[in-house]
Structure 1
Amino acid sequence: MTQADAIEIALPITLGVREALALSEKLAALPAAEAYVFNFASMGRIEPFGSLIASDVIDRFRRNHPRARFKAKGHEHCGYAAHIGFFKAFGLKFGKAPGEATGSESYLPIDFVDCEELRQRAADEYAEVGEFIDGWAGKVAGLLLQTNAGPLFDTVQYSLREVVRNVVEHSESPRFGYCGQYWPSQQRVQIGLIDRGVGLKKTLSTNARLAVATDRDAVQIALMPGVSRKGILPQARSSHDPWANSGFGLYMTSRLCSEGGSFVLLSGSAAVELKKSVKHMHAGAFSGTALQLELDLAKAESLSSRLAAFREEGIRAARTYFNSDNLTASAASTMLSRNFQDS
């Protein structure tokens, strides 16, 4: 096959969930070429999850084709994307670097946290890694909810802390990235998180009780309460509080966001999107794991009142589904179908 002289890749008008996933698949399927041209002329609104996925897959595509030439065009009008570090995140010298913008109450620019630095800092101070993640989780939860107090804030902070601890302690990712945006006119807020770890399938496969054959299996099993790489929550004893146990972070954030916004979990070739009582399964091509947490703040009060119900439902689900020797994707799909219809 003759190698193409140049291939042009046009970025979509909007960088949301589906557009970013489509871009990841498109780049993975491109043939070899002497040059690749990324055209940003049509790109308008970008969202946190979409901007993280797009910048990451472009960066890795560039690194995977070291002999090819790369060019960007039409990006000069993308002021907000440049400001939050989108372009420099994949090596284009335009705009601010990730973490350079100071952020505000309405947005968090693209930024990356070095996992080894966190682990080393904790070791130097004889502390748990979670202590250092706690402050970060509080900052992100504050943007997500536009408040720094209350039971909903405490739950989201806890959930984010657990999710990021899993990245730092188990994913083998050198760093994790995040980005956030609050749209006051829509009362909508979104947080995106990514890592370059081994992915959920490999991580969960170290647990002998989990039957994880595919990425599609992994993203569904990961949402079950009490699931982790180390084990499955056992039958609860009277003195045991399952909510304090590992494995509830993704479950609680998925319940909160899906009932009051949307939730997306992407790993490898599969993504699950939960929104308005509907479950969508998507294809993607992402080496690692990514999350989208989105909330409609107009529903925050009702979500706060339902926290206890979510926890109790999670405990009951753990007791129901974790009696067998192996937990399968079928069981995970059955549990999700109690709250979400397949699209």
Structure 2
Amino acid sequence: MSGTDAVARLKQLLDYVAATERDKLAIPTDVAGEKGFRIAGSELMMLPGVQLNGGGEGDPLWVRVERLTKVKPPRLADAELGLWADVADDPDRKPALKSEVPIAVLRAAGLIEGSPVAGEPASMPLNAYPGLERLRRHLDAFVREVWTPWADEERARRRSIKLYNDLFALRLALDGSSDTPAELVCGIGMAEWKRPLGRLSYPLLTVQLEVSIEEASHAIELRPRSESPPGVESDTLDKLDIAGVDEWRRFTIPYLEGLESGLSPFAADGFDPVLRKAVQLLDPSGVYLPDLREGQQPDPDSLHVGPSWLISRVRAGRHR
């Protein structure tokens, strides 16, 4: 090999090493640090209009999100309070009394007496209004008995509406309408561990999802892609220099290929053996959380793996 060839070969090798390191930097180890859509299964369970693990035999419908609409805040039956209260279309903004109201409005409503006087102010300040204490009592009762029940229900409803909108936008990205190719995956088996090279907080298994819109109801539906095998997130473990990853991978891949009904976050008998094996091979002090005895606390410095799941947007090709 000539000197020129040796230099060229060395340059190729250095470029390969640099590319490999860049790829490692792109591998996430903590879901909290990833940008984009993400929601935990435990959150989905609490939302109105969201059904989990539906569909009939042969139709694994994992998530269905109805197309809900906002419900406006309740109207004030008290005419006097209606003039003074500020009730926003926002369940996180508690109604409050306005700082002032035009005197002409109060006079027209019969709430103050007398004819207009030259030079009188255009508005009456709240603290000068004769019925201030009555307003406060009525507003407190309205908030307690009427507005708060609406706000509690509407807050969850609007989270469902936001979820629908996020998934609708994500569907466009998955269809190639975005500059950043993306995939939607269901991550199963959250692993938590503080390591010298960084924090692990990532699902050990992933399943690619497809997003569709039901024609009649316009509900958004998420199903596993039948043509895509489950992902084994061993790259994430390798990045943190965790021993035993290769052995766990050799066990996991054929195991998942042998599952007759496929991997599902709703079928613990399918993923339990893989997650327990991860704990066994990756950390002798680790624990699979469902195996803890009542009242037992895991070692905070050891590997914790649980059956929890989430739905997340990832860079295309990332999860395999």
Q: Greater Rg, structure 1 or structure 2? A: 2
How high is the TM-score relative to the length of structure 2? 0.23
Structure with bigger RCO (C-alpha 8 Å, 6+ apart): 2
